[in-house]
Amino acid sequence: MRTEIDTCPFCPRLCRHVCPVAVASARESATPTAIVTVIRLAQEGKLTADLAEGALELCNGCGACTRHCAVGMDVAAFVRDCRPVPTPAPLPTLPPPGRPVRVQVGAAPSVGVVIFTPDALGHAAAAAGASGHLERVARLFAGRHVQTDSYAVAAVLQAANDLPGAGGVGVSVDAVAPGDSRFITCWEGSVGGDGQLACCGAREGFEKRNPHLAECMANEVVRRMGGRPHVCGDGHCAQWLREHGGTVEGPHADFSG
């Protein structure tokens, strides 16, 4: 059965310039229209399932294609719904109640800090509607106040907090004010006046699944910085860009409780 998303293969790739994977890798197969085309052909039995799986792996889920789609298609949601719901990493043990909890992604352990794996507390699972995962998060953090340097972590905690009967999770993000940032966060998904891309490659473990593509993305963002200092509102992204030669300021992991 034909659907609205079938408009995608006939579009002249108008979202190509905002897709960070396609721009950084210069691969036409990574454009949103190409990915959708392969998936739909596989669904119709005209291509094999392994080709569709390979196409899905080229998408990092930043959502820039949806935000810039000329005909209003939710391309990112279509691609996400074609994937199996990710299994988040096991949730950690929290320190005793009574103190704020700091949650960081990929930082070195320190007093009062809970470290999560780079999937940012299961953001991909939360985005895919994994209510069971969100319920576990809500139970774990019930009645706590959480400080974090990651917008992705904050988004999951807020989604858990919005569940009926959730135990009241307080969340604050240690980040620069949006007006002070050149690179706010992966989730902004826009191209700014200085040619900013929607993602630097460190999103939802993309750098683990596709290290070469993620390296290309980070290098492209750093190239567009042109040697100028930038501010990034997400600690995980800030560290990733610094590792690739970017002069990037970001939230600092100096909370002692």
**Domain span at 14:** 4-82
Q: How far apart are CA 209 and CA 39, in angstroms?
A: 19
- Reported as a single tens digit per residue, the pLDDT across 74-117 is 888 888 888 876 666 677 777 777 666 777 665 555 666 666 65
> Could you tell me if 157 and 39 lie in one domain?
no
> Could you tell me if 126 and 214 lie in one domain?
yes
Reported as a pLDDT band with limits 50, 70 and 90, residue 45 is very high
| Segment 53-59 long-range contacts (CB within 8 Å, at least 24 positions apart) | 55/29, 56/82, 56/83, 57/209, 57/210, 58/21, 58/27, 58/29, 58/30, 58/210, 58/213, 59/21, 59/30, 59/32, 59/35
> Could you tell me if 116 and 170 lie in one domain?
yes
> Could you tell me if 38 and 93 lie in one domain?
no
Last residue of a domain, one of 52, 82, 112: 82
- Reported as a single tens digit per residue, the pLDDT across 65-78 is 888 888 888 888 88
> Could you tell me if 58 and 97 lie in one domain?
no
Stretch 223-239: mean pLDDT, rounded? 76
What's the pLDDT at 72? 85
DSSP one-letter code for 140: H
- Based on C-alpha coordinates, what's the Rg of the chain? 19
> Could you tell me if 119 and 61 lie in one domain?
no
pTM: 0.73
What's the pLDDT at 27? 92
Nearest to 116 by CA among 137, 135, 143: 137
> Could you tell me if 53 and 133 lie in one domain?
no
Stretch 127-138: mean pLDDT, rounded? 75
Find residue 102's DSSP bridge partners. Answer: 113, 147
Angle (CA) 59 11 4, round 5°: 80
> Could you tell me if 106 and 170 lie in one domain?
yes
Query: Hey, what are 185's tokens?
Result: 């966060």
- Quick check: 201 and 60 in contact, CB under 8 A? yes
Query: Hey, what are 103's tokens?
Result: 């949650």
Strands (E), 124-191: 145-148, 170-173
> Could you tell me if 22 and 126 lie in one domain?
no
Q: How far apart are CA 86 and CA 108, in angstroms?
A: 25
> Could you tell me if 161 and 115 lie in one domain?
yes
Domains held by the chain: number: 2
